[in-house]
């Protein structure tokens, strides 16, 4: 933790926040939950957040890259090994789901279940904890709304997800409706990622989650 955070402190962090209307995703997950359960898998929101991030990274590969210490070379990573911050009895651990670009939402849920079971048992090993390329931190699962996430070197971006809250919002006809709103707070390495890139990626990620059926079009 000390080594990673000391290295992270050297990175000029750019912060960007937005909100996502998850009303359709909330309905979709409640539809799919029992099917997943019948196949022995607990389906939370994380697999959707992770898959949408991977679909977005295909368009913004610089966010799934690393940079050398002198900031002379950028290495683009083909695998989307998406890390998730996990609150465990041993403290914060960040295992990652490997090759998310090749996985379905169900596959990701299955792997997440496995990682959570290992986390609870204090059994996460080097293979689960190394090789991450991009990270999501669901602080909302313990009640947080906003965060200022710290990049995990050698990664270049991280997102913190707030709690899903039912809040009043306007629909297309101007009526006030209850909406399931989640805040997202991104941090990116401003040496190689500009605000416009982070914002465009976040917009794409948001669009996938606000219209989860659109993910089907881009799934391999």
Comparing CB distances to ligand CAO, the nearer of 62 and 209 is 209
Give yes or no: 13 in active site: no
- Nearest distance from residue 126's CB to ligand CAO, in Å? 19
Q: Which two tokens stand for residue 4?
A: 């990673």
Report which residue's Cβ sits closest to ligand CAO.
140
- CA nearest to 203, candidates 16, 12, 26: 16
State the nearest-atom distance from the C-beta of 19 to ligand CAO, in Å: 12
Alpha-carbon distance of 126 to 120, in angstroms, equals: 16
Distance, CA of 85 to chain centre: 9
Catalytic residue among 13, 87, 190, 218: 190
* Identity of the residue, 21 or 62, whose beta carbon is nearer to ligand CAO in the bound complex: 21
Given candidates 41, 62, 97, 139, which one binds ligand CAO under the rule CB under 6 A? Answer: 139
Contact indicator for 15, 185 with CB cutoff of 8 Å: yes
Catalytic (active site) residue 194: yes
Residues 156-215, interacting with ligand CAO (CB under 6 A) = 161, 163-164, 182
Nearer to ligand CAO, 77 or 114 (CB): 114
Cβ neighbours for 198, distance < 8 A, ≥ 6 positions apart: 14, 16, 63, 157, 186, 188
Nearer residue to ligand CAO within complex by CB, 61 or 178: 178
- Alpha-carbon distance of 122 to 58, in angstroms, equals 33
- Binding status of residue 118 toward ligand CAO by CB under 6 A: no
Binding residues among 3-42 for ligand CAO as defined by CB under 6 A: none
Q: Which residues contact 13 (CB under 8 A, 6 or more apart)?
A: 148, 150, 151, 187, 188, 189, 190
Task: Tell which positions 39-68 bind ligand CAO, by CB under 6 A.
Answer: 44-46
- Taking the C-alpha atoms of residue 83 and residue 134, their distance in angstroms, rounded to an integer, is 6
The number of residues that bind ligand CAO (CB under 6 A) is 20
Residues 149 and 157 sit within 8 Å (Cβ to Cβ): no
Among 84, 103, 152, 209, indicate the residue that binds ligand CAO (CB under 6 A).
Answer: 84
**Which residues sit at the interface with ligand CAO, rule CB under 6 A?**
44-46, 84-87, 92, 112, 116, 137-142, 161, 163-164, 182
Known catalytic residues are: 190, 194
């Amino acid at each position: 933790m000390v080594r990673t955070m000391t290295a992270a402190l050297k990175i000029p962090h750019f912060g960007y926040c937005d909100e996502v209307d998850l009303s359709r995703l909330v309905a979709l997950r409640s539809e799919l939950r029992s099917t997943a359960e019948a196949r022995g898998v607990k389906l939370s929101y994380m697999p959707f957040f992770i898959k949408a991030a991977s679909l977005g990274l295909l368009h913004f590969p610089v966010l799934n890259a690393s940079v050398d210490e002198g900031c002379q070379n950028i290495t683009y990573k083909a695998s989307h090994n998406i890390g998730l911050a996990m609150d465990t009895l041993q403290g914060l651990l960040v295992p990652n789901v490997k090759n998310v670009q090749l996985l379905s939402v169900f596959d990701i849920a299955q792997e997440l279940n496995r990682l959570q079971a290992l986390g609870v048992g204090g059994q996460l090993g080097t293979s689960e904890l190394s090789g991450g390329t991009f990270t999501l931190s669901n602080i909302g699962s313990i009640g947080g709304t906003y965060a200022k996430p710290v990049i995990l070197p050698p990664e270049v971006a991280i997102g913190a997800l707030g709690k899903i809250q039912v809040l009043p919002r306007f629909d297309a006809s101007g009526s006030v409706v209850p909406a399931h709103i989640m805040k997202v707070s991104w941090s990116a390495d401003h040496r190689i990622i500009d605000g416009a890139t982070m914002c465009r990626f976040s917009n794409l990620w948001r669009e996938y989650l606000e219209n989860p059926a659109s993910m089907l079009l881009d799934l391999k």
